[in-house]
Structure 1
């Protein structure tokens, strides 16, 4: 309540019994004022509505498959962390929303996969300039999150410091298929060396001919998507 009094000119709400600030207008120039009060306390902040500002056609699986499908990549089987080498990136993207097109394990079951380091290293800007510009143009809280943001201290570290990688990095993974998959995740628990802004640019609902267990999970995903849409948390 105190923060709302400090900055009444932002469209925001409080989630999780007042512990999570949700900024509802990513273009509001006053967002940084209320954000900094939460940031001082080490609290996360959720910004909704960014997906409505992005060029959605750029971030669809079929767009990545069409433009970059012939690139060689490594995949990770999220169920056992095994590396799958010597595959084309279209092998991942074509199965993103179509379960029958997914690579299968030795038992003939579709795997839960993620792309390993793609685009590699610091190649995002060079390999995907249009997507880079679309993302940079629509980052929330640009004072903090843009490379040249006036409050982005990482961009102003002296040269004798080892500067953190300011990204952006892409994270691409399938959703979990069965109830057994809930015991695993698509990334390991880790600690980043700097603060980060994470933007969910696309969420897909896989189609196919799943068994009853998979169908229940997919129906649950649809409910989540409806909740995200209604809450403007995309």
Structure 2
């Protein structure tokens, strides 16, 4: 798993290098990439963490990339597609007063090949997420699908409280990334009477391919974010495809938030 923001890099001082691993992977790609344990104040102590935080701030001031490796929450099983499907479907059914065995929650997803928006139930989307055969036979969908900016911040907090808490707690450099009580997160300083900005977290759930189908075969096009962002890769898995199919697809579930 990884959290990322910005671009660029600088070699760190010895005291903030990962144990046995130089935090800069190679000279051609000078991105600071410590392990999560090496920037965890509970594991390295106050002195080493203070040095790591100061080094992070030197990157932050320039808008450099920082990639933190090994970011994991306490409830790793909750990020599996079936867990998210169950949580969202159960809450939607409770709100509508319907049978818990029925999937009545509907979402808009993007066909990355055509750019069109198609409507699917949460259950259908995640079945297609796990199985290309299901997507092509049952959904009549051949392009890669992407679920973007879902759910809203309020829905995430209310419908998936365990996921929300787990996500916030796994973020490195909590002084900046914790939108609830991070002392250096500007959103915590806004007057209470103001309408708060939607900082997420939100998920990006997308299919992928082992083999690209031509130039530009991608679920996310090159773009520029409007603000600094933290991205955490919480789930990656192979598709349910035939073993001899070299075009089997991988799936990626990424949670994203944009701190101010």
Q: TM-score, normalised by structure 2?
A: 0.70
Query: Pairwise mapping of residues 1-80 of structure 1 onto structure 2 (< 5 A)?
Result: 3-5=12-14, 8-9=15-16, 11=18, 13-17=23-27, 19-26=30-37, 28-29=40-41, 30=49, 31-51=52-72, 53-69=73-89, 70=103, 71-80=105-114
Contact in 2 for aligned 1:10/1:23 (Cα 8 Å): yes
Matched residues in 2 for 1:162 and 1:168: separation? 17
Contact in 2 for aligned 1:73/1:88 (Cα 8 Å): yes
Aligned-residue offset at 1:152: 1.3
**1:99 equivalenced with 2:111 (yes/no):** no
Matched residues in 2 for 1:2 and 1:177: separation? 33
Contact in 2 for aligned 1:104/1:111 (Cα 8 Å): no
Q: Measured at CA, do residues 32 and 175 of structure 1 come closer, stay the same or move farther in structure 2, by a change above 3 Å?
A: same
Q: What SS is found at the alignment partner of 1:123?
A: helix
After the TM superposition, which of the residue ranges 184-193 and 71-80 deviates more from structure 2? Answer: 184-193
Any unmatched runs of 5+ in structure 2?
Answer: 1-9, 42-48, 90-102, 251-260
Contact in 1 for aligned 2:177/2:185 (Cα 8 Å): yes
Q: What SS is found at the alignment partner of 1:195?
A: coil
Q: Which residue is equivalent to 2:115?
A: 81
Matched residues in 1 for 2:36 and 2:148: separation? 33
CA RMSD of the aligned region, Å?
Answer: 2.9
Aligned-residue offset at 1:41: 2.1
Aligned-residue offset at 1:74: 1.0
Q: How many residues align?
A: 212
Contact in 2 for aligned 1:102/1:111 (Cα 8 Å): no
**1:125 equivalenced with 2:157 (yes/no):** yes
Q: Which residue is equivalent to 1:149?
A: 182
Aligned-residue offset at 1:124: 1.3
After the TM superposition, which of the residue ranges 154-163 and 72-81 deviates more from structure 2? Answer: 154-163
Q: TM-score, normalised by structure 1?
A: 0.77
Question: Which residue of 214, 230, 233 corresponds with 1:197?
Answer: 230
Q: Which residue is equivalent to 1:229?
A: none
After the TM superposition, which of the residue ranges 16-25 and 37-46 deviates more from structure 2? Answer: 16-25
Contact in 2 for aligned 1:15/1:22 (Cα 8 Å): yes
Aligned-residue offset at 1:163: 5.9
Contact in 2 for aligned 1:104/1:110 (Cα 8 Å): no
Contact in 1 for aligned 2:11/2:32 (Cα 8 Å): no
